[in-house]
């Protein structure tokens, strides 16, 4: 049986916040409320009510007014679009109020309240025009929103269960110089920082001035050159049976230098690097791979010097399209199926400041508590812009790729070591963001039957 969210989140502070919001609404003049936005998606049971009024069901196209409290059922999701273009996705079992929403120039004010559950927001023009206009209140903190994309989640035991179900990292960034990012299979992007996790399916992208050294579970290492796109297809390391483990990567563009670990030494054929023209098998080695252009030539008779795949073996050996390349050799492959051609050297020298993979020391540290076993409380993760998390004790500024937690009884906001994966890669948000068919949401939400949907 699925466990219910931690009831401690419905604290006295939450009830006081709800009462305060209700009293402020009663004190307003009895005038027609301003329109605050519309419902773009209402999947399952989604309702709205104002203080003292009866709830009514919402469907796509339903109008939202100032003062509305929007509630989603246990297996329901809503996507709201406010009048300034702000988009808000409400998770299941959430309660959210649009207390005030004024977009007139020089009078901008957006005041919202999250009573329970969670949301992801991408703000519109109002917070960009007036950095102090948008605020999200909770029972333990107020979040100032300054032209940003962010998550806010009031967690009980539900977040711990989601975190345990999330896959463990395939590896971590041991060193990052310059700007690099990670694009998840959902297409959601996050900045890559030293120590940050990398998961199966992630694509790591380095900017023109960036290097990144990735360290994987079997101690293999990959140094990514500038302007490189590299995908971690699948890393599965069984420490007791390294010969049954596997590491499969994909070099999409750019270049890298790799040093294989236990998988490459103990399980030959289980360590592979894929490219557009070949799958390279690794035999316990230190080697360099480089794509010129799209890594594949359009000419079937491609010759060295143009587009294609290049590799240089420093130690050990690699297998390319049926040919074996031993240490001290450099090869070129222009098209799929082409046997490797031996050439004098790589088409361009390696960057002089490129760190060798083996030179990076990565401390053996367990996953951050925020990722592996999150405690109850408010979690705020910022993906772009600035999120200011203010409590009665302190205020911290979160930039791109940063997160914080505030306990469910209050206290100071604490910055976390990383954005918790249960939050960054929440399948609920991704099912809504990609705009796929409702069946995708059904699969994500269905734990014993889907609630009805208003169309």
Range with the lowest mean pLDDT among 50-54, 156-160, 209-213, 373-377?
A: 50-54
Rounded Cα distance between 43 and 94, Å, is 13
CATH 2.60.120.1440 maps onto the chain at 7-160+372-445, 169-359
Q: What angle do CA 337, 343, 345 make, to 5 degrees?
A: 125
Would you say 451 and 74 are in contact if contact means Cβ atoms under 8 Å apart?
yes
| Whether domain 169-359 has CATH 2.30.40.10 | no
* Per-residue pLDDT at 116 exceeds 90: yes
Q: Which of 21-25, 274-278, 382-386 has the highest mean pLDDT?
A: 274-278
- Please report, to the nearest 10 degrees, the dihedral formed by the alpha carbons of residues 219, 222, 223, 225 taken in order: -170
**145-172: per-residue pLDDT in tens?**
887 889 999 999 888 888 877 667 888 8
In degrees and rounded to multiples of 5, residue 424 shows phi and psi of -65, -40
Written as one string, the DSSP assignment of 239-272 is TT-GGG-EEEEEEEESEEEEE--HHHHHSTTSEE
Q: What is the pTM of this model?
A: 0.69
Q: Which residue has the higher pLDDT, 44 or 128?
A: 44
* Per-residue pLDDT at 386 exceeds 70: yes
Q: Which helix (H) or strand (E) holds 288?
A: strand 279-292
Which of 211, 182, 220, 212 is CA-nearest to residue 199? 182
In the chain, the percentage of residues whose pLDDT exceeds 70 is: 80
Would you say 145 and 136 are in contact if contact means Cβ atoms under 8 Å apart?
yes
First to last CA, the chain: 30
* Per-residue pLDDT at 67 exceeds 60: yes
In degrees and rounded to multiples of 5, residue 407 shows phi and psi of -60, 155
Rounded Cα distance between 406 and 63, Å, is 33
**328-375: per-residue pLDDT in tens?**
999 999 998 888 999 999 998 888 888 766 655 554 444 444 456 788
Mean pLDDT over the full length of the chain:
83
| Whether domain 7-160+372-445 has CATH 3.90.850.10 | no
Rounded Cα distance between 407 and 429, Å, is 24
* Per-residue pLDDT at 25 exceeds 70: no
* Per-residue pLDDT at 8 exceeds 50: no
Specify the pLDDT at position 361: 57
- CB count in 10 Å sphere of residue 206: 25
Rounded Cα distance between 423 and 432, Å, is 15
**315-333: per-residue pLDDT in tens?**
888 989 888 999 999 999 9
Q: Quick one: residue 227, left, alpha or beta (phi over 0 = left, psi -120 to 50 = alpha)? A: left
Q: Which residue has the higher pLDDT, 206 or 198?
A: 206
**407-416: per-residue pLDDT in tens?**
999 999 999 8
């Amino acid at each position: 049986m699925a466990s219910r969210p931690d009831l401690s989140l419905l604290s006295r502070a939450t009830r006081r916040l709800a009462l305060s919001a209700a009293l402020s609404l009663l004190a307003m003049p009895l005038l027609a409320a301003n329109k605050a936005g519309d419902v773009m998606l209402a999947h399952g049971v989604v309702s709205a009510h104002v203080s003292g009024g009866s709830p009514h069901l919402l469907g796509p196209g339903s109008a939202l007014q100032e003062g509305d409290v929007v509630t989603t059922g246990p297996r329901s999701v809503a996507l709201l679009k406010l009048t300034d273009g702000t988009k808000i996705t409400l998770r299941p079992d959430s309660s959210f109020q649009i207390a005030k929403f004024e977009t007139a120039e020089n009078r901008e004010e957006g005041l919202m309240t999250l009573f329970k559950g969670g949301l992801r927001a991408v703000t519109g023009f109002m917070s960009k025009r007036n950095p102090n206009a948008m605020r999200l209140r909770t029972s333990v903190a107020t979040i100032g929103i300054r032209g940003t994309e962010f998550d806010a989640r009031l967690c009980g035991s539900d977040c711990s269960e989601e975190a345990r179900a999330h896959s463990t990292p395939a590896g971590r960034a041991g060193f990052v110089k310059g700007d690099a990012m990670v694009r998840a299979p959902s297409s959601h992007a996050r900045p890559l920082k030293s120590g940050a996790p990398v998961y199966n399916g992630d694509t790591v992208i380095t900017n023109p001035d960036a290097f990144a050294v990735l360290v994987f579970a079997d101690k293999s290492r990959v140094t990514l050159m500038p302007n490189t796109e590299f995908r971690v297809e699948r890393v599965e390391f069984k420490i007791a049976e390294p010969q049954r483990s596997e590491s499969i990567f994909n070099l999409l563009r750019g270049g890298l230098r790799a040093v294989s670990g236990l998988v490459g030494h103990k399980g030959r054929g289980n360590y592979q690097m894929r490219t557009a023209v070949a799958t390279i098998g690794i035999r316990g080695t230190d080697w360099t791979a480089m794509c010129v252009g799209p890594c594949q030539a359009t000419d079937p008779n491609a010759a060295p010097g143009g587009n294609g795949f290049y590799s240089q073996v420093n130690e050990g050996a690699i297998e390319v399209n049926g040919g074996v390349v031993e240490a001290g050799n450099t090869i070129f492959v222009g098209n799929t199926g082409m046997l490797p051609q031996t050439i004098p050297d790589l088409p361009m020298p390696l960057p002089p400041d490129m760190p060798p993979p083996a030179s990076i020391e990565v401390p053996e540290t367990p996953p951050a508590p925020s990722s592996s076993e999150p405690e109850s409380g408010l979690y705020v993760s910022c993906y772009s812009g600035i999120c200011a998390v203010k409590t009665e004790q302190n205020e911290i500024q979160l930039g791109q790729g940063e997160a914080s937690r505030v306990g469910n009884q209050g206290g100071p906001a604490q910055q976390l070591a990383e954005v918790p994966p249960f939050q960054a890669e929440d399948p609920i948000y991704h099912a809504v963001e990609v705009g796929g068919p409702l069946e995708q949401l059904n699969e994500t939400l269905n734990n014993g039957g889907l609630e009805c949907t208003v169309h």
